Every structure is written in C-alpha cells, then in structure tokens.
Amino acid sequence: MPNQTDALPAVPNPDQLATVESLLEHFEQLEAQFQMVREGLTHSHRLATLGTIASIIAHEYNNILTPIISYAQLALAKKDDHELMTKAVEKALSGAERAAHISSSLLGFAREADAGHVAKLHKTIDDAIGCLARDPRKDGVDITIDVPDVQVAISSLNLQQVFVNLLLNAKQAMRRTGGQLRICATVKADLVHIDVADTGPGIPAQIVDRVFEPFVTHREPEADGQRKGTGLGLCICRDLVRSAGGSITVDTAPGKGTTFHITLPKAQDLFETT
C-alpha cells in the first residue's frame, strides 16, 4: 500500500513564498505605472488635439469679434441712432454667447480627469462640435445629427474626445470637396449603436486593417509636405471605448466614404448624470 504522505504536495518554504509575494507586488506596481502612462497619453493627446485646432479657434474668434467691433464703432459715432445701438448690443450678445460656448467646450475638453461615468449623447456631440470652433458648413461640410435622448455608460470627457477625433478626421477628409457628415444612433436592448459616417474618399486599403494601431495615419500631406496629426487618435478612441465596455469598428471603401460604428452600454436610470 503506497504511503499517503507521498501524494501530498510539497509545502513551499518561506523563501519561495517571499519571492512569489515580491513578484506579485512588482506586477501590481507595473500595472499601476502602465495605467498612469495610459492616462497621461490620453490627456497629452487631448492637448495635442487642441493645438491642432488652435488656428481654427483664433480665426473663428476673429470672425466673432470683427462685427462686434464694427457695430460698436458705428453706434458710438451715431449715439442718437437707437436702432443702430440696439443692433450693436444684439451683435455683441450673439458673439459673446458664441464665444462662451466655444470656450466652455474647450475648457471641458482640456480637463485633467472626469469622475463621471455617464454621458448624455446629444450634449456630448454638441460639445465636440463646439470644440471645432468653426462651423463645418463654412467649409462645405453639412452635419446631420439623428440621435435619441439617451445616456451612455462612459465618461463624458472620454466620449467627447472620441467624437472630436472622428470629427476632425472626417473634416480633414472632406476639406477639398466638402460633403456630408452624419451622426446617428439607435438603442437596442442595453446597447447604444452609434454611426459616424462621412462621404470622403475613404481610408486607403493598405492601412485599413491597421487603422486602430498606434502611429498609423491616413491623413494626406499638407502643402508643406508635413502630415498633420500623431497617428494616435483612432488608437486612443478604441482604448477609451473598450475601457467603457464598448467596441468600435470601421467600414470604408475608396471613393465611398468612411463609417465608424461605435457600440456602448446604455446607462441605467439609477446612474447619476454628468
């Protein structure tokens, strides 16, 4: 009869246990450092995106201020013209409200962190468009938004960053010929399906399978031969969507435009809105 003690597993000695505990602690530290780097990269990319649209913002602010200054000068020159004075005040109010909306969107976009985990879909899209500062229609791009009044289970800051990246890509793709940009969404059970579709030239076939990889860009060179963008936008979009339990895919074809399909969990009613 075999000795039952021979079948018992060997008990690790204290040195082995200490080594395992040390390795586990080291892995936890590495995971925490990786998370810090990932969050830092996401924030840095937001700031880089703001830099990309800085010239657009400056130009749009100039467009806002020019009529305000002109009407104010005319009103001061004709102080007895009450109709002109009223027009000057209306122009000033309209311009100030427009500038305030742009500034509010940009300040929100540049935030370091967002403690919330719920985003109002329509408001977040509006904030993302506000970050672009310049009305896309001025560049021949018509935007159609068809989304329900729904909340999704993702940080509003993160979702805004996803939309800003997709809007900038679509706007750049259609900058020469103009086109249509459509953002629509449907709710199916506990999921919200969002499509962001443009009528641009599409993503080149040679990179479409790698478009979510880091440092892969399909933007055409500018007049100076330089490519705008870091090649990290879509990679970060995928990371932010996945971290919320969602998914993002792309359908594209040369000359037929590009559609990004985003699926996110629907926020439950018990969640607190942001």
Q: What percent of the chain has pLDDT over 90?
A: 25
143 has which bridge partners? 181
For the chain, the domain total comes to: 2
* Residue 27 maps to a domain: no
Q: Is residue 4 in a domain? A: no
Residue 2's pLDDT is: 54
pLDDT of res. 152: 96
Domain that holds residue 81: 62-103
**Residue that the structure tokens 């509003």 belong to:** 156
Instruction: Note whether 141 and 228 are same-domain residues.
Output: yes
- Per-residue model confidence as pLDDT tens digits over 26-78: 666 666 665 665 555 556 666 666 666 666 677 667 777 888 888 888 888 88
Residue 8 lies in a domain: no
Position 263 confidence tier, pLDDT thresholds 50, 70, 90: very high
pLDDT at site 225: 42
Query: Would you state the pLDDT for residue 95?
Result: 82
Q: Are residues 123 and 86 in the same domain?
A: no
Band of the pLDDT at 101, cuts 50, 70, 90? confident
Q: Which two tokens stand for residue 165?
A: 């990246």
Q: What is the pLDDT of residue 241?
A: 93
Q: Which amino acid is at 39?
A: E
Check whether residue 92 and residue 173 sit in a common domain: no
Residue 223 lies inside a defined structural domain of this protein: yes
Q: Kindly state whether residues 245 and 132 are assigned to the same domain.
A: yes
Same domain, 189 and 206: yes
> Does a structural domain hold residue 24?
no
Comparing C-alpha atoms, which of 44, 39, 96, 92 is closest to residue 68? 92
Tens digits of residue pLDDT in 122-134: 999 998 888 887 7
* 45 and 72 share one domain: no
Structural domain includes residue 151: yes
Q: What end-to-end distance do the CA atoms of the chain give, in Å?
A: 70
Sign of CA dihedral 251, 256, 258, 262: negative
> Do 182 and 116 have their domain in common?
yes
| 23 inside domain | no
Exposure class string for 18-47: b at 16+ Cβ within 10 A, else e: eeeeeeeeeeeeeeeeeeeeeeeebbebbe
Please check whether residues 89 and 181 belong to one and the same domain: no
Give the mean pLDDT of 9-15.
64
Q: Is residue 2 part of a domain?
A: no
**Regarding predicted confidence, which is higher, 256 or 265?**
265
Token pair 């999704």 is found at 152
CATH code of the domain containing 227 = 3.30.565.10
Q: Are 159 and 92 members of one domain?
A: no
Q: What is the pLDDT of residue 39?
A: 59
Considering the domain architecture, whether residues 126 and 257 belong to the same structural domain is answered as yes
Six token digits for residue 62: 């100039």
pLDDT value of position 226: 42
* Average pLDDT of span 81-87: 87
If asked whether residues 92 and 164 sit together in one domain, one would say: no
Residue owning tokens 């629509």:
184
CB-side exposure of 162: number of CA atoms within 13 Å? 32
Say what the pTM is. Answer: 0.66
42 and 169 housed in the same domain: yes
Buried b (16+ CB within 10 A) or exposed e, 95-123: beebbeebeebbebbeeeebeebbbbbbe
